[in-house]
């Protein structure tokens, strides 16, 4: 039996899929939550701009508030689109985390004034709790995607088995 003691060990890289099912699921949930946070921020910014422009600047310049102007309807359309995107994000998040029936219920609940705010807060807190259970930090703009990448790297490092060169055939 002739072995070369100077050969470096080689890794068995045939590990199949690099992402576990849990990490794929958590990655998608974190991505949807990040999208939801960005869309909510856009919605808040549009409303804030509308209030600032119409109330403060209009009052300072003594401009009449016209409801037939392009600014007014442009802001209303932008707010409507961002509200629709928030509804879609909430529906996709509920469908991904639980099931399609809960996603459809969340979609219907998003069109009830007042209840949609409570629904968004409850769903976002449940999603945040789920992500934190997987040691993913969640901030103002959603989950930190690097935490999931670090977990994936740790899973890869734990799953690779090293075979020494002396045991190769």
Query: What dihedral do alpha carbons 147, 133, 107, 99 form, nearest 10°?
Result: 110
Cβ neighbours around 60 below 10 Å, total: 8
Within a domain: residue 11? no
Mean pLDDT of the residues in the chain? 80
Name the domain count of the chain.
1
Q: Look at residue 98 and tell me whether its pLDDT is greater than 80.
A: yes
Within a domain: residue 162? no
Q: Look at residue 114 and tell me whether its pLDDT is greater than 80.
A: yes
Instruction: List for the chain the helix, strand, coil content (%; round to 5).
Output: 70, 5, 25
Within a domain: residue 3? no
- Model pTM score: 0.68
Mean pLDDT within 94-122: 90
What is the extent of the structural domain holding 120?
A: 22-146
Model pLDDT, residue 2 = 76
Model pLDDT, residue 161 = 52
Take residue 87 and report the two structure tokens written for it: 């509804």
Q: Look at residue 158 and tell me whether its pLDDT is greater than 90.
A: no
Cβ neighbours around 85 below 10 Å, total: 17
| pLDDT band per the 50, 70, 90 thresholds, residue 164 | very low
Within a domain: residue 15? no
Within a domain: residue 64? yes
Query: What dihedral do alpha carbons 4, 162, 16, 131 form, nearest 10°?
Result: -160
Q: Look at residue 163 and tell me whether its pLDDT is greater than 50.
A: no
The per-residue DSSP string of 4-17 comes to -TTSPPEEE---S-
Residue among 89, 88, 85, 80 at smallest CA distance from 47: 80
Mean pLDDT within 29-54: 83
Mean pLDDT within 27-54: 83
Within a domain: residue 130? yes
């Amino acid at each position: 039996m002739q072995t070369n003691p100077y050969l470096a060990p080689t890794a068995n890289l045939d590990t199949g899929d690099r992402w576990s099912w849990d990490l794929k699921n958590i990655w998608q949930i974190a991505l949807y939550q990040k999208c939801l946070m960005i869309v909510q921020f856009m919605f808040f910014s549009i409303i804030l701009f509308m209030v600032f422009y119409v109330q403060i600047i209009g009052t300072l310049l003594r401009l009449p508030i016209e409801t037939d102007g392009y600014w007014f309807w442009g802001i209303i359309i932008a707010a409507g689109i961002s509200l629709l995107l928030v509804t879609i994000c909430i529906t996709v998040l509920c469908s991904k985390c639980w099931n399609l029936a809960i996603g459809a219920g969340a979609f219907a609940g998003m069109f009830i004034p007042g209840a949609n705010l409570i629904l968004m807060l409850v769903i976002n807190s449940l999603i945040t709790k789920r992500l934190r259970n997987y040691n993913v930090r969640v901030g103002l703009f959603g989950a930190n995607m690097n935490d999931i990448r670090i977990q994936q790297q740790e899973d890869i490092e734990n799953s690779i088995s090293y075979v020494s060169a002396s045991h190769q055939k």
